[in-house]
Amino acid sequence: MLEAIIVRRQEKEVLERQREKEERDGQFELEKIKLQTSFPETSESSERNTKYNCVELQNVLQRFDSRNDDISLYLVVFERQANRLKINKADWVTQLMPLLPSDVAQIIAREPEKELC
């Protein structure tokens, strides 16, 4: 009889430890999810979004036509679209170059990098 009580008590302790472990694991997973949602995007995810946004920018904005378009107005539209797509300002020149005619792109390419920032 004493042995049966000891066995039951041991079984209860094992079950209690398992329950506590499961509870800790659940709390850990919950904290992990909270942290993942509270931190900004990872750099890999951010790079992927930037690449997608840059491609989308080329679809949203037509190429600049130096004969018919006003460059000031074009740059304002470019800036608005780049902001809307959350493209980093450091990438704006890189994204603008394919949208410009080659003669204008060559002029920009000749400028020192410091002046482009």
Asked if 15 contacts 53 with a C-beta cutoff of 8 angstroms, the reply is no
> How many structural domains comprise the chain?
2
Which position has the token pair 């130096």? 66
One domain for residues 31 and 52: no
Among the listed residues 47, 57, 52, the one whose alpha carbon sits nearest the alpha carbon of residue 99: 57
The pLDDT of residue 54 is 62
Which position has the token pair 């304002």? 76
One domain for residues 10 and 22: yes
- Residue span of the structural domain in which 2 resides: 1-39
Q: Going residue by residue through the chain (117 aa), what tens digit of pLDDT does each one get?
A: 888 899 999 999 999 999 998 888 888 887 777 777 776 655 555 555 555 566 677 788 888 888 888 989 999 999 998 888 888 888 888 888 888 888 888 887 888 876 655
Asked if 74 contacts 104 with a C-beta cutoff of 8 angstroms, the reply is no
One domain for residues 56 and 92: yes
Q: Is residue 114 part of a domain?
A: no
One domain for residues 55 and 99: yes
pLDDT digits (tens, 9 = 90+) for 62-75: 888 888 889 899 99
User: In angstroms, rounded to a whole number, what is the distance separating the alpha carbons of residues 61 and 26?
Assistant: 48
One domain for residues 53 and 77: yes
One domain for residues 57 and 97: yes
